[in-house]
Amino acid sequence: MAATPLAALHRKLFDETDGNKFARLKDRLLTKHGVDERRAVLDILVGYARDGQLLHWRNFVMTDIIALAEPGECGDFFTDCLDVPDLSYWAVDGMLKSMGKAAYGPLVALAAADHARPGARAKAIKSLAVFSSQPFDRGLMLDPGHWKAEQLRVAEVLAWQADGYPDGHGFAAPATHASLAAPQSPLEKAAARLEKKLAARRRREQDLAQPSNWLAIAQPDDLRQINARWRLPEHYQRFLACYSPLRVSIEHADYFQGLNLYGAAELLKAQHGYAWNPVTQESISGWPRHYLVIADAGADPYCLDLDAVTDGDAPVYTAAHGAGAWQFERHADSFVDFLQEIAAAA
């Protein structure tokens, strides 16, 4: 009797020793059978995570298992994986999805375990923070795999456990300007168009511990430092004050490696390596003093020409880095034009 398509794919998956071929088989399994035979596919992937011969793929399929599993499923499997160093990182999210608050105890124990891998401990703290709305991850990088041991707030997590695991209040969203909802001027309309597209991204993915893709009201201290150093064109000054970018990156073919649009909090530091050498604390020769870097694409700077302000705005110039002397070309006739271009590309 011929094997069913799912059974045949199951056998091929476990027999495959080439990682690239395995990836294609796994994708076929999910595409062809992941909906109508979800539970069977889930069992196959769980079996592979336990006993598969490609060790790195045993780890990689964990994210597929988490995506397929429904609340209440696979709790024992995820709990077992917590004790397997190569699987413990993703087991954290699996336990929370499957077990909810019942996973808190084992995950706190993992976070406090000095012998456990630092990445898994950090992942436990990060995921507990997100699930419980507690601020254990405040000010830290989005990826807990990059956290340092001294950044793990184990004492706070243990105190939270002793207090009975109360829910926190999470992080407030950045404050935004009212004109984004009712734009009038060309600057406001360009900012509102960009904000609409950024908001769609935020709905797909957002971590308010490190907010990204926001146009937010700038902090007064940041604006004071900027104004103490430069006299900005009116339109760019208003943009920074009312629509200061927070980790805004635009992926588009026109921008090599994506465009990073700077906000008020990072504008001073953004001049490092272009106009300013932070090591020697000196201006860098060859850089036009009147050029202010406001964005970059793969380290190619986009600059406002502060010596060419007309009607409250200034042209934007760009140049390729690493080519010896800077060879700037006019990119946009004004910052508002540049912002309109960015909004169209976002």
Give me the CATH number covering residue 306.
Answer: 3.40.1580
User: pLDDT over 70 for what percent of the chain?
Assistant: 99
Which residue range(s) make up the domain with 202?
178-345
Residue 325, pLDDT score? 87
Q: Is the residue at 271 inside a domain?
A: yes
Q: Is the residue at 43 inside a domain?
A: yes
Are 143 and 185 part of one and the same domain?
Answer: no
Q: Could you tell me which of 344, 287, 283, 346 has the C-alpha nearest to residue 317?
A: 287
Are 152 and 212 part of one and the same domain?
Answer: no
Last residue of a domain, one of 162, 196, 222: 162
Are 121 and 213 part of one and the same domain?
Answer: no
What is the mean pLDDT of the segment spanning 142-146?
94
Q: Is the residue at 169 inside a domain?
A: no
> What token pair was written down for 250?
């635009």
Q: Place 2 in a pLDDT band, splitting at 50, 70 and 90.
A: low
Q: What are the contacts of 249-253 at 24+ separation with CB within 8 A?
A: 249/212, 249/213, 250/342, 250/345, 250/346, 252/345, 252/346
Are 142 and 184 part of one and the same domain?
Answer: no
Are 150 and 272 part of one and the same domain?
Answer: no
Q: Is the residue at 170 inside a domain?
A: no
Are 101 and 63 part of one and the same domain?
Answer: yes
Are 183 and 42 part of one and the same domain?
Answer: no
Last residue of a domain, one of 132, 162, 192: 162
Ranges 124-128, 138-142, 165-169, 337-341: which has the least confidence: 138-142
Are 87 and 215 part of one and the same domain?
Answer: no
Are 41 and 151 part of one and the same domain?
Answer: yes
Based on the structure, what is the number of domains in the chain? Answer: 2
What is the mean pLDDT of the segment spanning 97-111?
98
Are 152 and 109 part of one and the same domain?
Answer: yes
Q: Find the farthest-apart pair of alpha carbons in the chain and give their distance in angstroms, rounded.
A: 82
Are 133 and 224 part of one and the same domain?
Answer: no
Residue 323, pLDDT score? 78
Q: What type of residue sits at position 234?
A: E
What is the mean pLDDT of the segment spanning 291-302?
97
Q: Is the residue at 192 inside a domain?
A: yes
